[in-house]
Amino acid sequence: MAVSQLIGARVQRREDPRLITGHGRFIEDRLPVGLLHMAVVRSPHPHARILRIDKGAAAAAPGVLAVLTAEDFHKQLQGVMPVTPSFVPEKKFVPDRFPIAGDESCFQGEPVAVVVATDRYLAADAAELVRVEYEPLPAVVDPEEALREGTHLAHVDGPDNIGWDMTFEGGDIEAAFARAEVRVTERILQQRLAPTPMEPRGVLADYSPYDDRLTIWLSSQNPHFIRLFISGAMGLPESRVRVVSEDVGGGFGSKISPYPEDYLVPAASRILGRPVRWIETRTESVLTTYHGRGQVFTAEAAAMRDGTLLGLRLTQVLDLGAYHGTFGAFQACACLMAGGVYRWQAIQARTIGVLTNKVPTDPYRGAGRPEGTHLCERMVDRVAQEIGMDPADLRRKNFAREFPFVNNFGLTYDSGNYDGSLDRALELVEYSSWRRRQEEARKQGRLIGIGLSTWVEICGFGPSQPTAAATGGISLVEAAQIRFLPSGSVAAYVGTHAQGQGHDTTFSQIVADTLGMPLEMVELRHGDTAEGPSFGYGTYGSRSLAVGGMALHKAAVVVRDKARNLAAHLLEASPDDLVFEQGTFAVKGDPTAHKTIQEVALAAYGPNLPTGMEHGLEAVSYFDPPNFVWPFGAHICVVEVDRDTGAVALQRYVAVDDCGNVINPMIVEGQLHGGIAQGIAQALFEEIAYDQESGLMQTGTLLDYLVPTINEIPDLTLDRTVTPSPTNELGVKGIGEAGTIASSAAVINAICDALSPLGIHHVDMPASPGRIWKLIQEAQS
Amino acid sequence: MIPAAFGYSRATSVADAVAQLGSAGPDSKLIAGGQSLLPMMRLRLAQPEHLIDVNGLRELDYITPKDGRLLVGAMTRHATLVRSEVVRRHLPLLSEIASEVGDPQVRSRGTIGGVMAHADAAGDYPTLALMMDATIVTDRRRIPARDFFQHLFTTSLAPDELVCEVDFPVATGAHRYLKFRRRLFDWAIVGVGVQMSDDGWRVGITHAGPTAVRAHAVESALRSGANPKEAAEHATDGLHPTSDVHASSEYRLHLAEVLTRRALEQAA
């Protein structure tokens, strides 16, 4: 690599000036001429037969141009919404999903009709006038209950409620348990979470009858895949559909998969021949944007009395909701990652996907990896408690230390130094001092707890071979293009798409360094399928830097190599005799003979090229990583539990993480702040609750669904170790999900540690004061 | 989150507001700070046909100490109560309570009169009004707080009646308001206020029933010499809290007792 100036520097985020001065551009900011507004009529029932829809009053309401139902959309849209194999290739029951319900609606909030009007308010008023006659059907609410034979069906024509049932075998589990001196079991809940991005979903579609082309503006993490899906459903060649995603106000995984409205809005635009827009309300967001988590684990761990871990057996019951999420089976990776950073003789993990009458679940920040980590870290703590060993010592005794490390399911951890991050975290938190204070506090009846979470994640999706099978054919690699324009500015295109991650900054740092350019001369473009390489693979699974950043780097190297050859020609020297520093090619030993890369770029469009060299200075590169990347770290949380009220006060939070080489430390810290806050949110606050009888959502507003704010998040002490990834030339891993993957376990382990003198072994999430108070009451009675 | 259509007009005086309420009919509503009404309208839980805006009524924005009373105009915003030296001198507990209402945006817009008229079970000022025997002054009469709050979202106001003032007795003795909640800006799951006054402790409890409650049993236990712990055991007398996603009824009862004890212990 060239001499690095920008990589590793705390470059301020280039996207922030526009965002904090109100010049960001979100879906609602676009106002095309002739814009129409769509409102969605949604089923109020968890499960119902739709007997009749009377459009009359709504169609006659002021400003209404159309009231459309499944019948109308079947003439526009072909096929069903996609479901990828992901980690569960064999599925038992995959109910067909059309974007709008026909005879049967299967979750509260499922679209039943849409109203298109000249004004958003008129559309909302008219939506209330659509008369839908329902015959309510019994709702399937509890996923474990849904597995019982003879229970109600989430789909009346379904064979049962089992979406999948698959067991991953990682070693001889019977042999591992046979040796065990200690066994612990636990039942661990992962409540449903609502992603609640600050910008809810939004779709604006403009179908042009002139050239039979469709443009969709979408708040999306994944514009190219959405183009693929929508073009197929609309019967248009992929080349005639353009998906544009500009600023995205947060996604957290919820803007990866296609949604019903992504189909309904373009279809409505084609029916009416005018641009149509739908903006999700916050109520719709909580009710219908795909939820995360929603799982119940039962687990048993086996160990020796000296702390040696032997075996882990677990079952994941995953509440799919009414339909499979497009990438919902990704969450089964909790099973493959349940061994964490430890050496186990064997792991056996069964995953059961269950259909219920609720909104589908799909990847949400971490997607399976927070669940796997939470389970692993809880079970390791349970073993430590059972044999009376310090949880830090037990972890050290079982850490994987030789890399590459192959886990029980054949996944290869690329690099790691688990002792390094744990030791640093223990030092920063002053572990032994807190243990002493805990001892003192207990004598006074106070409940202080210290919780550890030593985590590892699989991320950076690709590589092409395993991910082709997971998506159903398209390998997850990444594409980038570098274009040097004649006047010397650089346009860089990449197929990932940020939703707050700061790619405009970090990716420009990589390109600028590789080409020896000032940052200001690099323009980073993403999110528009009409620009750059033919396909892009989106931003999720902490993949953007390790795959997309590398694609950009590769394309920049191709451009730089061509520039070197051209510079050599212009300087009448051999390419091998040139040095490239600070953006200038210079002939070794001749200080007067040099060309800047900008001068070379201009020459690339001029008359004086070496024989055989084509004009222009641009390149498209695809990067196919040879492996996933494996960030890791150690989080430690200190809490005090109020014995009288059950309230948890977070006293201290230390996180030492390792994501390999760091491009921009400020952005890494920002990702950790947000990620840890989101994990604390799950541990203590957020929960989507449904009434167990009626199946109706009970937490439909942000008054009841408790997203914490800065007031509820403690100061975070961050540090890092640096263990470069051998998987890519930049030595980078991913950091977008790390905080969320690590933190729920640290918080809950701390609470359980605090409550252990009362004989309480486990607390489910969210660890609300009421829930903890009840546990204390039960323990004392 | 898209409200239904509604009419809108501004009131130019108290008399004008009352006249407009009378002529606009039963589906009209006054809007002051709008911090409860607007969210309900956006969810279409409330669909008033007409809103009469009283934000222009400057004559209802005052804080006046008078003959051992503290008179607070109905249009006084929470933020004004927080900042007011006069409130801090004459009824510091009101200042403490106001500082814990909602978040800064809510405190900048919401008004004390609006909280009284809305009568949310989790409202904080009704607790203070009840425990201190405050009087709600309207355009036509004076209503003792104990007669004003009748049930959840229900007061003794006539359909065309406007809250103009809350008349509190001055109290500068030891006091505390403890508000138990999950997030800093949330409504109280349960709240407890205590105030030492001329005739002894006054104790009120928020959100342990459809309206705030004055804890007479706690007050009399304290008058008989009970310590905070003993007195707090009476906090649950006569309470009938409901269960919801935030707390069970049993937990609310327990919190009422714990918070009463702590408020008494911490009162300064």
pLDDT in tens, A560-576: 999 999 999 999 999 99
Domain assignment present for residue B2? The answer is no
Contact B258 A711 (CB under 8 A): no
Domain A386-459+627-780, architecture per CATH: 2-Layer Sandwich (3.30)
Cis check for the bond before A769: say yes or no (omega within 30 of 0).
no
**pLDDT, mean of residues A35-44:** 98
Please tell me which of the candidates B180, B184, B247 has its beta carbon nearest to residue A711. B184
**CATH number, span A31-137+198-250+255-288:** 3.90.1170.50
Q: What is the CATH number of the domain that holds B201?
A: 3.30.390.50
Q: Which of residues 738-777 of A touch B (CB under 8 A)?
A: 768-770, 773-774
How, if at all, do strands B149-151 and A490-494 pair?
unpaired
Residue among A39, A685, A770 minimizing CB distance to B248:
A770
Q: Do B183 and A711 touch (CB under 8 A)?
A: yes
- B207: in domain: yes
Which positions ≥6 away from A210 have C-beta within 8 Å?
none
Q: Which of B114, B139, B169 is the last residue before a domain boundary?
A: B169
The minimal CB distance from B183 to the residues A709, A769, A770 is found for A709
> What is the edge-to-edge ordering of all strands in the sheet holding A64-69?
A64-69, A111-117, A36-42, A276-279, A202-208, A213-218, A241-244
Sign of the CA dihedral with A272 first, then A275, A279, and A280 last:
positive
Same domain, B67 and B141: yes
| Angstrom distance (rounded) from CA A21 to CA A35 | 26
Q: Tell me if B162 is assigned to some domain.
A: yes
The Cα–Cα gap between B250 and B231 comes to 19
Structure tokens at A708: 């914490």
How would you class B198 by CB atoms within 10 Å of its CB: exposed for 0-12, middle for 13-18, buried for 19 or more?
A: exposed
Averaged confidence pLDDT in chain A:
97
| Listed residue (A12, A751, A15, A124) closest to A452, CA to CA | A751
Give pLDDT tens digits for A209-233.
Answer: 999 999 999 999 999 999 999 999 9
Q: Please, which residues bridge with residue A301 across strands?
A: A184, A312
Residue with tokens 């600028």: A512
Q: For residue A1, is pLDDT > 80?
A: no
Which contiguous run of DSSP H or E holds residue A293?
strand A292-303
- What pLDDT, in 10s, does the model give residues A627-637? 999 999 999 99
Q: Alpha-carbon distance A123 to A39, whole Å? A: 5
Give the 3-state secondary structure of chain B.
CCCCCCEEEECCCHHHHHHHHHHHCCCEEEECCCCCHHHHHHCCCCCCCEEEECCCCHHHCCEEEECCEEEEECCCEHHHHHHCHHHHHHCHHHHHHHHCCCCHHHHHHCEHHHHHHHCCCCCCHHHHHHHCCCEEEECCCEEEHHHHEEECCEECCCCCCCEEEEEEECCCCCEEEEEECCCCCCCCCEEEEEEEECCEEEEEEECCCCCCEECHHHHHHHHCCCCHHHHHCCCCCCCCCCCCCCCCHHHHHHHHHHHHHHHHHHCC
Chain B: give the shortest CA distance to residue A147, in Å. 26
Residue A188 pLDDT greater than 80, yes or no:
yes
Asked whether the predicted pLDDT for residue A591 surpasses 90, the reply is no
Which pLDDT score is estimated for A3?
46
Cα–Cα distance measured from residue A640 to residue A620, given in angstroms and rounded to the nearest whole number: 55
Q: Which residues of B touch A (CB under 8 A)?
A: 1-5, 43-44, 180, 182-187, 245-248, 251, 254-255, 258
pLDDT interval class at A471 (50, 70, 90): confident
- Calpha distance B114→B31 (Å, rounded): 8
Q: For the sheet with A309-321, list strands across it.
A: A162-170, A346-355, A309-321, A292-303, A182-193
* SS3 assignment for A12-64: CCCCHHHHHCCCCCCHHHCCCCCCEEEEEEECCCCCEEEEEEECHHHHCCCCE
Q: Which residues pair with A449 in a beta bridge?
A: A639
Task: Mention every residue, 6+ apart, whose C-beta is less than 8 A from residue B47.
Answer: B3, B4, B6, B27, B41
pLDDT digits (tens, 9 = 90+) for A320-353: 999 999 999 999 999 999 999 999 999 999 999 9
Q: Answer yes or no: do B68 and B43 share one domain.
A: no
- For B135, list phi and psi in degrees, rounded to 5: -120, 135
Helix (H) or strand (E) holding A522: strand A522-525
Verify whether the Cβ–Cβ distance A124 to B184 is below 8 Å.
no
Q: How far apart are CA B63 and CA B85, in angstroms?
A: 10
- Kindly state whether residues B64 and B165 are assigned to the same domain: yes
For residue A511, the tally of other CB atoms under 10 A from its CB is 27
Whether the per-residue pLDDT at A355 is higher than 90: the answer is: yes
Chain B residue closest in CA terms to A123: B2
Structure tokens of A396? 């050290």
B88, B24: one domain? no
- Point out the residue among A282, A706, A712 whose CB comes nearest to the CB of B1: A282
B185–A281 CB contact, under 8 Å = no
The reply to whether A478-623 shares the fold of A386-459+627-780 is yes
| Two structure tokens written together for A425 | 């975290």
Report how far Cα A252 is from the mean position of its chain's Cα atoms. 5
Q: Give residues with Cβ within 8 angstroms of A386, minimum separation 6.
A: A182, A184, A303
For residue A12, give how far its alpha carbon lies from the nearest alpha carbon of chain B (Å).
29
Closest CA to A214 of A222, A205, A223: A205
* Residue ranges, chain B, pLDDT below 50: none
Per the domain annotation, does B1 fall within a domain? Answer: no
Residue B130 CA to residue B145 CA, distance in Å, equals 5
CB-based contact B2 A281, cutoff 8 Å: yes
B65 shares a domain with B94? yes
For residues A448 and A441, give the distance between their C-alpha atoms in angstroms, rounded to a whole number.
7
**Interchain pair A699, B247: CB under 8 A:** no
One-letter identity of residue A21:
T
Last residue of a domain, one of B154, B169, B184: B169
Q: Is the peptide bond before A63 cis (omega within 30 degrees of 0)?
A: no
Under 8 Å between Cβ of B32 and B74: yes
pLDDT at A781: 86
Task: Tell me the CATH number for domain A478-623.
Answer: 3.30.365.10
The residue to which tokens 């707090």 are assigned: B232
The whole-angstrom distance between A124's CA and the closest CA on chain B is: 7
The model's confidence at residue A4, banded by pLDDT at 50, 70 and 90, is low
Q: Where are the domains of chain A?
A: 31-137+198-250+255-288, 386-459+627-780, 478-623
Predicted pLDDT at A646: 98
Name the packing angle between helices A550-570 and A503-515 (round to 10°). 30
Contact A2, A513 (CB under 8 A): yes
Whole-angstrom distance, CA of residue B159 vs CA of residue A533? 66
Q: Which domain holds residue B163?
A: 59-169
Could you tell me if residue B157 is left (phi over 0), alpha (psi between -120 and 50 degrees) or otherwise beta? beta
- First-to-final CA distance of chain A: 67
Å between B158 CA and nearest CA of chain A: 30
DSSP code of residue A2: P
Summarize the confidence of residues A600-604 as an average pLDDT.
98
Yes or no: say if A680 and A748 are a contact pair by the CB < 8 Å rule. Answer: no
Same domain, B153 and B188: no
In this structure, the answer to whether residues B38 and B66 fall within a common structural domain is no
8 Å CB contact between A258 and A82:
yes
User: Quick one: closest CA in B to A642, which residue?
Assistant: B258
As a whole-number percent, the residues of chain A with pLDDT over 70 amount to: 99
Nearest Cα neighbor of A654 from A409, A361, A450 is: A450
Chain position carrying tokens 């916050």: A282
Cα–Cα dist B183/A712, whole Å:
6
Amino acid at B122: A
Name A452's bridge partners. A636
| SS3 annotation, A230-251 | HHHHHCCCHHHEEEECCCCCCC
Q: Give the pLDDT confidence score for residue B1 in this predicted structure.
A: 77
CA angle A313, A314, A315 (to 5 degrees): 145
Amino acid at A406: V
Residue A357 confidence (pLDDT): 98
Residues 6+ apart with CB under 8 A from A691: A141, A697, A698
Longest dimension (CA), chain B: 58
Ordered DSSP codes for A171-215: S-HHHHHHH-SEEEEEEEEEEEE----SS--EEEEEEETTTTEEE
Test A125 with B255 for CB contact under 8 angstroms.
Answer: no
pLDDT at A396 over 70: yes
Does A167 contact B at CB distance below 8 Å?
no
Please give the tally of structural domains in chain B. Answer: 3
Mean pLDDT along residues A678-701: 97
pLDDT at A2 over 50: no
Which residues lie below 8 Å from residue B171, measured CB to CB, with a gap of 6+? B91, B93, B132, B195, B196, B197, B202
Of B142, B169, B196, at which residue does a domain stop? B169
Contact A511, A5 (CB under 8 A): no
Q: Best interface-test mutation with B: which of A644, A713, A775 has the largest number of B CBs within 10 A?
A: A644
By Cβ distance, the residue of A125, A685, A706 closest to B5 is A125
**Whether pLDDT at A118 is above 60:** yes
Count of CB atoms situated within 10 Å of the CB of A272: 17
Residue A57, class by beta-carbon neighbours within 10 Å (0-12 exposed, 13-18 middle, 19+ buried)? Answer: middle
Same-domain check for residues B69 and B164: yes
Residue of A196, A282, A645 to mutate when probing chain B, most B C-beta within 10 A:
A645
| Helix segments in A493-549, DSSP class H | 503-515
